[in-house]
Chains A and B, each alone.
Chain A
């Protein structure tokens, strides 16, 4: 069962290889923050300590749902880069919700500061959840992104939460882009009923907290059982997708990834 995400920041240094998960796309409105939220719920449900950074400075989006575990940062500023990448060992997993249009730029910064070399050496595990949009431009980004990801795990995420279609009428076009990137794994986030999604948005809670019928401070709430049931069922399918690609095993792997 999914539990509410608690503050999981740790003062102690974690054992094993820390994991950084970048969630991004070069287009807005494709559901980056939704995917980042599901990841935080998944990690919490699997008792994996996670912290998050929201790069939608200054207001933040992910921060609204996970205020206790999320800091708002400007990933382009050196001070905030230090805040994120010089403290990786304080948590098993660091999730970065990358602002729309900044995925390639962020990867460029990571290359420039030598972070990608560290990943290549296996000292840090990098996963990129690349959220795809229903456009050719979005598909063209796949190859651009993959160029930075030597030694990293690349996940191509089709987010159906808003009933988006992905070239259903022309699978050849779609598959043509996918075949170029053999190392990438494909993930699908299923559709969530609009009313259920809207209620979680309004509640500004982690999915797990909404399912558990709790308020942000842990008090009993009175959300609709049916809506909670829809969210529970949907989140279990999302978790099954993460399990399918071995996300938990990847995060928990102690040895260096060569």
Chain B
């Protein structure tokens, strides 16, 4: 077997290999410690992005007093809570099912701390990859210090996680690169363009669906198409980014082997140093 196949095989065995490649399941947590930063709008967009792609998707609405996600997407959004162990089982045991359906959790602001505490305690991020489930944390940022601090806490608490800051241009005009560092995509956040204010009323109307709008283009203003285009493009880039992250071990492994060979050659004496710099994968 080629070394690249070896690497894929070993990564698949360890559960790290990307869900989109090996038929696994991505789980997105859309979160922020601050209210009114656009979490539910982003959850709606992401859910409909997958639906538009022809995929089944399950969304979880954790806003107990304002079940807004379920209000917009009654067919695929389920109310969820973590207030007691049975509710936690109903949520997390479902998130742990590798059925290839993307899962989206719209996390209520007040649940930010308890949710991540629980997630850490039960070892969700450690156990999920073993079942080919890829957890992705989408942190909707804003300019408040509480947001920066919370981001840092999540970063530190889950060092190996796929954590992406989200720049919702409707709530944060200028992106503070230093405040929300990323481990991925060269530090670029997931950028959701500003929804023109003229459209907010229509988009927030009960039962409004982005897909329905795309299916009935005649009655819609062009601005909404442009906005959806750019938002969906951002999600495509996110998918690509996740895919690349899951390929990273292949390249790391290649580099490790290369370094080892290089070290061995140096130990043997002067040799073909140039050859040692080639990527050690057989295609």
Contact = CB atoms under 8 A, between A and B. Distances in A.
Contacts of B85: 193, 195-196, 226-227, 230
A193 B84 CA distance: 10
A230 B86 CA distance: 12
Interface size class of B (residues with CB under 8 A): 10 to 19
Contacts of A177: none
B109 interface: no
A61 B96 CA distance: 33
A181 to B, nearest CB: 34
B93 interface: yes
Interface string B75-102: 0000000000110110011001000000
Nearest to A195: B85
A195 B88 CA distance: 12
Interface in A199-246: 224-230, 232-233
A191 to B, nearest CB: 13
Interface size class of A (residues with CB under 8 A): 10 to 19
Nearest to B96: A225
Given A193-B85, A195-B85, A230-B85, A225 B93 contact: yes
Contacts of A196: 85
A224 B93 contact: yes
B123 A226 contact: no
B86, B96, B122: most-surrounded residue (chain A CB, <10 A):
B122
B152 interface: no
Contacts of B123: 229, 232-233
A225 B121 contact: no
B223 interface: no
A8 to B, nearest CB: 26
Interface in B4-27: none
A173 B3 CA distance: 68
B226 interface: no
A233 B86 CA distance: 17
A214 to B, nearest CB: 13
Interface string B102-131: 000000000000000000011110010000
Contact of B121 (A195, A224, A233): A233
Contact of B124 (A224, A229, A230): A229
A28 B93 CA distance: 36
A195 B92 CA distance: 16
A134 B122 CA distance: 30
Contact of A230 (B93, B96, B122): B122
Nearest to B82: A226
Contacts of A193: 85
Nearest to B90: A226
Contacts of A232: 122-123
A176 B86 CA distance: 42
A165 to B, nearest CB: 22
A209 to B, nearest CB: 16
Nearest to A194: B85
A222 B112 CA distance: 29
Nearest to B130: A213
A62 to B, nearest CB: 26
A228 B123 CA distance: 9
Interface in A31-87: none
Nearest to A231: B122
A179 B93 CA distance: 47
A195 B121 CA distance: 16
Contacts of A230: 85, 121-122
Contacts of A229: 92, 121-124, 127
A101 B121 CA distance: 36
Contacts of B89: 224-227
A232 B119 CA distance: 12
A230 B92 CA distance: 12
17 contacts: A193-B85, A224-B89, A224-B93, A225-B89, A225-B92, A225-B96, A225-B122, A225-B124, A226-B92, A227-B85, A228-B122, A229-B92, A229-B123, A229-B127, A230-B121, A232-B122, A233-B122
Given A196-B85, A224-B89, A226-B93, 7 more contacts: A225-B92, A225-B96, A225-B127, A228-B122, A229-B122, A233-B121, A233-B122
Interface of A: 193, 195-196, 224-230, 232-233
Please name the 7 residue pairs, one residue from A and one from B, whose CB atoms are nearest each other, closest first.
Answer: A229-B122, A225-B96, A226-B89, A233-B121, A226-B92, A226-B88, A224-B89
